[in-house]
Amino acid sequence: MTTPDITLYTYGTQNGVKVSVVLEELGIPYKVKQVELGKREQYEPWYLKINPNGKIPTIVDHSKEDFSVFESTAIAIYLCENYDPEEKLLPKNDPKLRSQVIQWVMFETSGIAPAQGQSNFYCRYLPEKIPFAINNCAKEIKRLYGVMNKSLEGKEYLVGNKFTLADAMSYPMIRGHFFSGVESIDEFPNLKAWVERIDTRPATQKGLNVPVPDKMKEYRENPEKLEEFEKLIQSFFKEKQT
């Protein structure tokens, strides 16, 4: 296996930390470049060369001729396929287990991430609150949480009763449920226990603090910090509209 030489371009968002969590869980050495979203650095020509979509995260694999990969799910799968010989996060030799992991990864990509992303917009970013939109987003998030809660019944993790990419990709989003308008997940005991279980994983926790200290933890523990962030991001959206 090629010795990895990877640069991670990211920011401390729920989506951004997914890749640093995977890198840490796999024990892959990497360098970090924080992309300054507030300064619109993601739209600068140098960044668009490695990520034409102008989003974070992105990796550049210097050990493979500076091969760049964008989109968090695509990056996670790439890392597992190239640098997970022990099959820590993604099975390779068991087609059924591999499919199950990928199914849950896609469930997060097509369901949880967009649902919570949209809810973040209505709950936190948009200066004018629209109750119908906020309630509708929360309803869909809870539906998705219900699917996971039922699937976790009698299990510690989603697939094979071990921590895999299926868990690693969903956890950064679900732990921030309060940020997305779902204040409590007490009604989903299996899911809540799953979150608490992953909370104890040192590698995952390290990944959550890349490239800056864990923002979700800060916002949960300090509501005034969350309020400050809301005001900042709302002013940013107002500027964009003028």
DSSP letters for 139-171: HHHHHHHHHHHHHTTT-SSSBTTB--HHHHHHH
C-alpha to C-alpha distance for 50 and 60, rounded to whole angstroms: 8
Domain that includes residue 114, residue range: 95-210+214-219
Q: Where does the pLDDT of residue 233 fall: very low under 50, low under 70, confident under 90, or very high at 90 and above? A: confident
Tell me the mean pLDDT in the region 108-123: 97
C-alpha to C-alpha distance for 38 and 93, rounded to whole angstroms: 43
Secondary structure (H, E, C), 84-125: CCCCCCCCCCCHHHHHHHHHHHHHHHHHHHHHHHHHHHHHHH
Q: What is the share, in percent, of the chain residues with pLDDT greater than 70?
A: 98
Q: Domain for residue 161, yes or no?
A: yes
* Domain final residue, candidates 24, 48, 83: 83
Tell me the mean pLDDT in the region 52-78: 98
CATH code of 73's domain? 3.40.30.10
Per-chain mean pLDDT for the chain? 95
Do 17 and 118 lie in a common domain?
Answer: no
Number of domains in the chain: 2
Contact 156, 71 (CB under 8 A): no
pLDDT at 234 over 90: no
| Lookup: tokens for 147 | 């699917």
Q: How many CB atoms lie within 10 A of CB 50?
A: 16
> pLDDT of 121-171, one tens digit each?
999 998 889 999 999 999 999 999 999 999 999 999 999 999 999 999 999
- pTM higher than the cut 0.75: yes
Do 72 and 170 lie in a common domain?
Answer: no
C-alpha to C-alpha distance for 113 and 174, rounded to whole angstroms: 9
* Domain final residue, candidates 83, 106, 132: 83
pLDDT at 242 over 60: no
Do 133 and 60 lie in a common domain?
Answer: no
pLDDT value of position 3: 84
> pLDDT of 158-213, one tens digit each?
999 999 999 999 999 999 999 999 999 999 999 999 999 999 999 999 999 999 99
Q: Which helix (H) or strand (E) holds 174?
A: helix 165-174
pLDDT value of position 235: 83
Do 55 and 160 lie in a common domain?
Answer: no
C-alpha to C-alpha distance for 57 and 73, rounded to whole angstroms: 10
Contact 57, 10 (CB under 8 A): yes
